[in-house]
Structures are given as structure tokens and as C-alpha cells.
Amino acid sequence: MLKQIDYQGKLEEIAEKFQGRKTEVSKEVNKTVQQIVEDIQKSGDTALFNYAKKFDGYDVNTSNLLVTPMERETGLEQIDEDYFRILRRTKSQIEEFHKHQLGNSWNIFKENGVIMGQIARPLERVALYVPGGTAAYPSTVIMNAVPALLAGVKEIIMITPVKADGKVNPNILAAAEVCGIETIYKVGGAQGVAAVAYGTESIPKVDKIVGPGNIFVATAKKICYGVVDIDMIAGPSEVLVIADKTANPKYIAADLMAQAEHDKLASAILVTTSEKLVQEVDEELNRQVQNLERREIIESSIRNYGGAIVVKNINEAFDVSNQLAPEHLEVLTSEPLTQLPKIKNAGSIFIGEYTPEPLGDYMSGSNHVLPTGGTAKFYSGLGVYNFIKYLTYSYYPKEVLGAFKEDVETFAKSEGLTAHANSISVRFEE
């Protein structure tokens, strides 16, 4: 199942394939989503309700748009206490990690009377998009909500599509309950994204939209970006495992398949110094996959977008990884912690054989909303800082402004901005 990739002189080609797995947006999809966004912007609730009926089969109106307290209670009754315990534990783990990301305000008081500083302010209102149906992931609710809560976002609303019966997945309701999210709108798709981006008669406009979705949701987020902020446009999931001869092939195989089961476009790559390990991992893959529910997806993704790269030494392995900039990076070597400084590009790093990537999907504490497709070279995973804006301020007394007067005037005139220069000089006229 695991083919060996000859990367000598072909690293750029491999990177292009690895990073180019984004689902292509056809002209038809883009045109459809653009029309939906424009209709929502123009007609508000009327267009929103029409599209919800058309795409989801839900006959929504102002009276059944929101999840009611009774619906919430009915849904939560289906959740046992142990599952609530797991959700609360997950939230606690995410909070413990993310509280260290809290932005800070600061100021400087100079002897000449100048005061300068920075003020950290949370966003006012954020929308969390949660896919419905079988793709409902309560973990994503917590991963997106906790950083926003810690940042101090005043209002978090949720949008999620429902079927004709109008019921929201009970697990999603449970995650929302644990995170204290009370406002849940039963709409999704491109129309839901447009509704929170522009606002309608029934749904308020937000400052930022976070959360995963299908190609229509992703396209809508991309189109609405600028009117509203978004988290990122995520592509298919990926993992890269760096391993030496000491690594356990059973663990590697399990971790590669854990990522491969997400999607036929998912990528799972092993980079190792040991050819023997490649053979052992391949044997484990063929053995373990037999009993997995998503066998077809796993085999397809590993066959088309997976593989093993054998390198001369461990430093070369990290060079390959840094070039590919994977969403998830596992380091399974004899001394993994000492090699952390070698990593430049990765969405999230999992160190040692007892820190498998799925732990990060749920409970390690780090966020699982991560950059994909090589964008880890310039993007970070979701964090508290994504829900905070920074305001800078300064105060200058007249005498200190006077000390900068000539330099600022000269600078402004050199750029042809004489009104800028005048703004300074007018303050010193008799």
C-alpha cells in the first residue's frame, strides 16, 4: 500500500503534489455561491429561507430559525453524563493550553512626556459554522469556541444546517452547552455564511466566521472575506511522520491511517532514514486496515497521496518536512525533543511515540484548526490571537512634536503630501 517515493531532485514536484490537493472550485460552483451571497445581501431573510428550503429541505421561517430551549433540552436528554464529562475534560484541556496565548495591552511613559502603547480588544461578535449530519464534529465546536471565549468575545453565535425535521445533532448541542453557546441558528451552507457576513432581519452581522464546511461553505467564506474576517480556507487533511530506525512501525501505520481516513484527498507521508522501516510499516498498514470501517477511503488516499521517502540522515528528513510544511507533523525518533529546533514549518507538532496526532484532534490542548496545503509556511493554527485586535495609541506634547517638526515635514513633502506637512506646521504658526 505504501509506495516509496524517489525524491532526489524531485522535492519541488513532490511538494507541488502534496500542497496542490485543494478541491478545485469550478466556475459553476463559484457562480452559484456568488449568486447566493448577492441574493442574501439584497433580500435578507427571504433569500435565506428560500435557499434553506431548496438545499436542506427545511421549511425555515422566523419562528423556527433558532434552536429553542425546549429543542435544546430534548436533544441534551439523549446525551449520557459520561459524554458530557469527556466534553468538559476536552474544554479544560483546550483552555489550559490557549490561556497562554492571551494578548496583552502595554504602554510606555517616556521622560519627555510621550505616552505610547497598545490595547488588546476582543472582537464583538463571532459566528461558528458547524457542519450538520454525519459530518458533525463536536470537537470542532470546542476548538473554535474556547479561543474566542478566552479572548473575551462578547457574543458567539452558531449556524448549522438541519434536515427537513429541523433537528440539530445532539452531540453538537452538548458541545455548545459545555461552551455556553446559547444562540444557534438552523441554517448552513453558503447562504448561512452570507447571512452572518452581511446580516439579515433575523441574523446579526458578525466580525468573524470560523469553522469548517464543504466546498460551497469554503467558497462563500472566501467571497465574503473583507466584509467579514474568516479563520482560513482549509484543504484536505495531512500528516507527515519523521521516523528513524527506533520507531515502532505499528504506531506509524496506525497514525498514517488515522489521517488518511478523513478524505480520499488526505495525505499521509512517512519520511525515514530506514528502508527496513518502510517495509515494516507497509506490512502493518495492510494488516491493520482490514478491520477499519473507512478502509476504501484509507487505501485510496494512501495510494494516491501517501508514500514513504527514505533520506540519508535525520537532518535531511527535517529539510523535506520544512519544504512540505505539513498540517500535522509527528516526530518519532530516539531523541525527539532535542530535534524541535529543526522544525520551521508545521501546523502542529506531535513529539514522541505516545503523542499521536489524534490526541491533538481532541484532548492534547493544542488546536486542531490548522493550515494545510503548505500554508503552514506562513499561517498559524487557530488561537486566541485570532479573536483579538490590537489598537495602538500615542500622545505627544507640543514641545516634543516640535523636535520632530522639520523631519516630518520634509518626509511628507518628499512623498508629495503637502497637506501632511501642513498638519504639522500649522500647529506652530504665530
Q: What CATH number is associated with residue 303?
A: 3.40.50.1980
pLDDT of residue 309: 95
Q: Are residues 61 and 205 in the same domain?
A: yes
135 and 18 in a single domain? The answer is no
Cell match 510606555: residue?
108
Contact between 60 and 52 under an 8 Å Cβ cutoff? The reply is: yes
191 a known binding residue? yes
Would you state the pLDDT for residue 134? 63
Q: How many Cα neighbours within 13 Å face the side chain of 60? A: 30
Q: Is position 376 within any domain?
A: no
Q: Are 49 and 107 within one domain?
A: yes
Q: Are residues 141 and 272 in the same domain?
A: no
Nearest to 320 by CA among 253, 273, 261: 273
Residues 247 and 329 in one domain: yes
With CA atoms as reference, report the closest residue to 159 among 119, 189, 122, 200: 189
Model pLDDT, residue 90: 98
To the question of whether residue 237 is assigned a binding role by annotation, the answer is yes
Instruction: Tell me how many domains the chain contains.
Output: 3
What would the grid cell of residue 247 be? 520507531
Active-site residue, from 261, 327, 353, 357:
327
Q: Is 327 a catalytic residue?
A: yes
Residue 391 resides in a domain: no
Residue 262 labeled ligand binder: yes
Q: What is the pLDDT along the chain (430 residues), one digit of tens a residue?
A: 898 888 776 777 777 777 666 666 788 999 999 999 999 999 999 999 999 999 999 999 999 999 999 999 999 999 999 999 999 999 999 999 999 999 889 999 999 999 999 999 999 999 999 998 666 799 999 999 999 999 999 999 999 999 999 999 999 999 999 999 999 999 999 999 999 999 999 999 999 999 999 899 999 999 999 999 999 988 899 999 999 999 999 999 999 999 999 989 999 999 999 999 999 999 999 999 999 999 999 999 999 999 999 999 999 999 999 999 999 999 999 999 999 999 999 999 999 999 999 999 999 999 999 999 999 999 999 999 999 999 999 999 999 999 999 999 999 999 999 999 999 999 999 8
* 280 shares a domain with 201: no
Among the listed residues 261, 328, 353, 368, the single catalytic one is 328
| Residue 415, annotated as binding a ligand | yes
CB 392, CB 118: distance < 8 Å: yes
In this structure, the answer to whether residues 156 and 270 fall within a common structural domain is no
Is 171 labelled as part of a ligand binding site?
no
- Structural domain includes residue 351: yes
Tell me, yes or no, whether 143 lies in a domain.
Answer: yes
Check: CB of residue 113 under 8 Å from CB of residue 400: yes
Could you tell me what percentage of the chain is helix, strand and coil, using 3-state DSSP and rounding each to the nearest 5? Answer: 50, 15, 35
Whether residues 207 and 262 fall in one domain? no
Pair (114, 76) in one structural domain: yes
- Report how far residue 380's alpha carbon sits from residue 382's, in angstroms, rounded to the nearest whole number: 7
374 in any annotated domain? no
Q: Please report which helix (H) or strand (E) contains residue 125, including its range.
A: strand 125-129
How far is residue 166 CA from its own chain's centroid?
27
Q: What is the domain extent for residue 278?
A: 4-22+235-364
28 is catalytic: no
Q: Annotate 243-301 with DSSP letters as a single string.
A: E-TTS-HHHHHHHHHHHHTT-TT-EEEEEES-HHHHHHHHHHHHHHGGG-TTHHHHHHH
Q: Are residues 240 and 220 in the same domain?
A: no
- On whether both 305 and 401 belong to a single domain, the answer is no
- Residue where one domain finishes, among candidates 204, 230, 256: 230
Q: Is 385 within the bounds of a domain?
A: no
pLDDT at 230: 98
Looking at the fold, whether 216 and 258 belong to one and the same domain comes out as no
The residue out of 343, 364, 385 marking a domain boundary is 364
